[in-house]
Structure 1
């Protein structure tokens, strides 16, 4: 029997396909909120984290996956489902492939964000955004400790290749294949019209500081964590030491999903 931590979209009923897999004792689902009740050996013997929902639900599971070094099996029951690429119809076949060790894991690069003595990881992006007052914010950007530019505008997005199809692409940034070893820095509504999105190697370090804090400013991590930015605090962003591992779809590759989700 394969044992998974379980993360489900709010107010979503468990589908009959999953209930049948549980009934046949092919899988056992443990709500992620109960992880503190598990012993170290029990966590070590977990197959992974089964996520049922959309991309937002998938992103909720990322910190657990990183902390406990568990792969994610994302099953799509959301609106967009770029990250949750396994369909309910193919789930029994995917479970069988995992049990037979015939489904190789894939990996994605993560961001590590340091702010005010706290550390976070992100699969998609870290975004520094202005608050509701609507005035320009001024961000000093350093790459590998060298001053690059000051951004005047609504903020900046630092995205992974995985996150390039999320907030980044909505802000005019490029789509990047998830196996590329880069990050993309995308200004949001820059007052300098010649300041465009730019790509850096993912082993570079990024430092962001606010020149002036007169308005409410936020650090938004994967759309899940929202922190008010305070004067004198820097944000440091780099590649995380570990990757995110996940079980891929048996039916769809990256380009199929890209074409399907963006209607190409």
Structure 2
């Protein structure tokens, strides 16, 4: 098995965790390929992930959701399945905590992880394109001023929005920024996109759910500087009046792995405290 490793640079015990991964890899006969973060802690004899992306059987991320998203944006276009080991606090998308690392690697090697196909986004703006797992956000940077945009679904004009910004999210991203902005929770298997305004300047503009085969376009009407497009929480490009951001289903879905026995609702209860009964009281 050829396994890619992506690590979080902010985790102080990463070197210890990578040592545990290497011990398990030797035991199971797994060849490891690390990103720049992993190579910094694993030493000069480690193999470079960038040179072997097309050959990987799976990718293991060591960190939180941000690390998983970074790894997934690398693995997704190559059809490589991704398993996340959580070293942080929430880790909603990760499959299990670090104290189950060895168990996770055994399940992965045996082919016993459960694979879910997750819809992803292709985002185009200002001559550039990006691949997104969670969301694309058009928003202002710096000054607290309203952003004015016009939103289209396919060839139909939805209307003009005056807001702090707008989030276009996948079902996977519906439990992230979209949820904080008042958007609905979408079950990951749902083939849909959701457009969520951020602090709209009218009660008439609410979150809008459309089919996943729709194309959402956002035309920038404001003339002020500092309008950005952000992909999965990372700023990618600056926009000006007249620019249009186009968001559609990517042809490369994410193959996300989870552990047997887990499902979306058990994770929702455990990590977002969903419902009246705490998970340890069930």
TM > 0.5 fold call = yes
1:174 aligns with 2:180: no
Given candidates 136, 141, 144, the residue that maps to 1:134 is: 144
Which has the larger displacement, 170-179 or 242-251? 242-251
Say whether the 8 Å CA contact 1:62–1:122 is kept in structure 2: no
Paired residue secondary structure (1:105): strand
Cα distance between partner residues in 2 of 1:255 and 1:178: 10
- C-alpha displacement of 1:8: 0.5
The alpha-carbon distance between structure 1 residues 198 and 37, as it changes in their structure 2 partners (threshold 3 A), is: closer
Cα distance between partner residues in 2 of 1:110 and 1:237: 10
Alignment of 1:122-201 (within 5 A): 122-201=132-211
Cα distance between partner residues in 1 of 2:235 and 2:75: 16
Cα distance between partner residues in 2 of 1:21 and 1:167: 35
Paired residue secondary structure (2:270): helix
1:37 aligns with 2:37: no
How many positions carry a matched residue from both structures? 259
Say whether the 8 Å CA contact 2:68–2:93 is kept in structure 1: yes
Superposed CA RMSD? 1.8
- C-alpha displacement of 1:58: 0.7
**Deviations 1:65-88 (CA, angstroms, capped at 9, x unpaired):** 123221111111112100112233
Cα distance between partner residues in 1 of 2:54 and 2:124: 28
- C-alpha displacement of 1:26: 3.9
- C-alpha displacement of 1:35: 3.2
In structure 1, the partner of 2:79 is: 69
**Deviations 1:144-173 (CA, angstroms, capped at 9, x unpaired):** 111111000101000011100000010011
Given candidates 15, 20, 23, the residue that maps to 2:23 is: 20
Cα distance between partner residues in 2 of 1:202 and 1:190: 24
- C-alpha displacement of 1:102: 3.3
Which has the larger displacement, 169-178 or 26-35? 26-35
Paired residue secondary structure (1:156): strand
Paired residue secondary structure (2:258): coil
In structure 2, the partner of 1:249 is: 259
In structure 2, the gaps of 5 or more residues are 37-47, 275-282
Say whether the 8 Å CA contact 1:75–1:88 is kept in structure 2: yes
Paired residue secondary structure (1:133): coil
Cα distance between partner residues in 2 of 1:94 and 1:253: 16
Say whether the 8 Å CA contact 1:94–1:250 is kept in structure 2: no
TM-score by length of 2: 0.86
- C-alpha displacement of 1:94: 3.3
Say whether the 8 Å CA contact 2:224–2:240 is kept in structure 1: no
Alignment of 1:212-223 (within 5 A): 212-223=222-233
Which has the larger displacement, 175-184 or 245-254? 245-254
Given candidates 39, 54, 57, the residue that maps to 2:64 is: 54
Which has the larger displacement, 236-245 or 22-31? 22-31
- C-alpha displacement of 1:117: 2.0
